[in-house]
A = this chain, B = another copy of it.
Amino acid sequence: MIAVDNGVNVQALLDARDVLTGAPEAAQFTWRASAKWENGVRSTTTVRDFFGLGQEQSHKTESVFSADHPAVFAAEDNGITPIEYLLVGLASCLTAGVASVAQNRGIQLRSVESTVEGKHDIRGILGVDSDVRNGYTDITVKFAIDADASKEDIEALVAQSQKRSAVFDALTNPTNVTVELA
């Protein structure tokens, strides 16, 4: 029997679960981003440090992201639109989940691809109609997965990934967001 290897260290995650069961304070993470207005609707956001396991942590490199609006919004399109970042987060979170669950279940993955579509009625943000929400009307994620498993087992992988996805939860359930002046 060939060992399944999707590149996920599942044992470390299971060990972390055991340790954090007895140390809930170490499980309290704070993720951070810092944004700077450039011009127009363009901004640059930097991600580097976070807090977790009881202390300050840092990514091995700083990541910088540009956001802008496209030309059809009379902007310069020097970056993706802010709301598109939500789709990046959703796709990558569910993909990481599929890989982790597959590893835990002994399923070898060959390829995992997905397309995400978010329907957005922009009359909301433009203030045309107060009955139209500002955000997405709905989002669809379609996975194409090639793996050493039955269709039922692959469907179960996707379902379990969704069940434990941080970003899926953040989009499908409300989160309290406080916005204030420093």
Contacts and interface: CB of A to CB of B under 8 A. Distances in A.
Interface of A: 6-9, 12-13, 16-17, 20-21, 24, 27-37, 39-43, 45, 47, 50, 52-53, 57, 59-61, 63, 65, 67-75, 77, 79-96, 98-100, 109, 111-129, 133-145, 151, 154-155, 158-159, 162, 164-182
Given A65-B88, A72-B57, A89-B85, A39 B6 contact: yes
5 contacts: A12-B73, A29-B119, A31-B84, A52-B122, A135-B175
In this complex, the member of A13, A72, A90, A134 whose beta carbon has the largest number of chain B beta carbons within 10 angstroms is A134
B88 A92 contact: no
